Amino acid sequence: MITIKEVKTKKDLKAFVKFPFKLYKDSKYWVPPIISQEIKTFNKKENPVFNDANASLFLAYKNNEIVGRIAAIINWLEVKNQNQRKMRFGWFDFIDDLDVSKALLNEVEKIGKSNGLEYTEGPVGFSNLDKVGVMTEGFDSLAPMITWYNHPYYVKHYEAANYEVEKSYSESKFPFSNVKPEFFLKAQELIKKRYQLKALKFTKTSEVMPYADKMFDLFNESYASLASFVAINDVQKAYFKKKFISFVNPEYIKFVVDKDDKLIGFAIVMPAFAKALQKAKGRLFPFGFKYILDAKKNSKDVIFYLIGIHPDYQNKGVHAVIFNEYYDIFKQKGIQTCFRTPELEDNIAIHQIWKHFDPVVYKRRKTFRKTIS
């Protein structure tokens, strides 16, 4: 018999966060989160997303053991401002038992119906900067820290619960040796002269901060046309600056400004932390910090986390300026492989940016949807 329990206590929340450590204990490819940070994600006093969102967390028990978990999420900005009557769900993990997954999804659907929502979609997080999608291909490769990993059996559970594919994403990679400066060297000089642009270089995190809010504003502008995009508000900007910027080498943050110092393009690249996080085993102490700092300084793999171009400058080659800035620093650091985060397969514009580097898709993932109204 399956019993579902809503998370109400700190003990329950810790059990919710730690369940995947048991589920994936024998996996070489799963990357554990930092437990303390994951707990803060669901702390209403820590995470400002709760100013505009609700989340109910559930654990599934069988024979008095935890066998599954799910987060049921309503983003009210999405529901009210965009009229997307969507019930989100994420952090969805479970043993290979259809009764477990169905019971958890049923809790999500009940909340959605009680709030007059039309459909469920997941796995997704609170916003566009959270993890997204269940893996459908690429189970034999290491998961980046900014994505979810899952067992291959997950997909059949969605299908058994009458969920249909909503969105499709791909993740690709390419060796740095594929990056040839002739693709962008001359072009970026012409583009800078034609549009009176300049690239900003940073050596300290403190130098980045005066531009960080402008970067999130540009992020909102450049991604606004994508499906179910929810803009980041001012309170969330402060939260994400604190959460993400410190993890990034300042020289891996590239901004392009016009003659009036207005930000028109940006990119954020992160060192690959996956192996360091596996060594840390979910804890910063006593050695987790050491592994993470070592990866930040010495990782030979990088992840293109975000790239955004102002709508007025899209299709004008601004990305060539950005790639030129990265080329020298990557060559200096001996970078070997460049990875890309999940990107919508129908986002043709972003795929065109990378075509000269001959990227290879190594993972695919999807979100699933079910009508509940």
Q: Is the pLDDT of residue 226 over 80?
A: no
Name the band, by pLDDT with cuts 50, 70 and 90, for residue 228: low
| DSSP string for residues in 36-82 | HHHHHHT-TTT-GGGGSEEEEEEEEEETTEEEEEEEEEEEHIIIIIS
Domains for the chain: give ranges and CATH numbers.
2-171 (3.40.630.30), 175-363 (3.40.630.30)
pLDDT (tens digit per residue) in 266-302? 999 999 999 999 999 999 988 999 999 999 999 999 9
Q: List, for residues 29-59, the tens digit of each pLDDT value.
A: 999 999 999 999 999 998 999 999 999 999 9
CB atoms within 10 A of CB 202: 18
* 369: its two tokens: 């949807």
Mean pLDDT of the chain: 93
pLDDT of residue 227: 61
Interacting residues of 171 by C-beta distance below 8 A, sequence separation 6+: 138, 144, 147, 339, 340, 341, 342, 343, 361, 362, 363, 364, 365
More confident residue, 161 or 225: 161
Residue 81 has pLDDT above 90, yes or no: no
- pLDDT band at residue 233, thresholds of 50, 70 and 90? confident
Query: Is residue 229's pLDDT more than 90?
Result: no
Angstrom distances, CA of residue 212 to CA of 41, 239, 241 = 21, 11, 7
* For residues 306-331, average pLDDT: 92
Q: What is the pLDDT of residue 222?
A: 85
What is the Cα–Cα distance from 146 to 57, expressed in whole angstroms? Answer: 21
At 66-78, the pLDDT tens digits run 999 999 999 998 9
Tell me the mean pLDDT in the region 321-330: 94
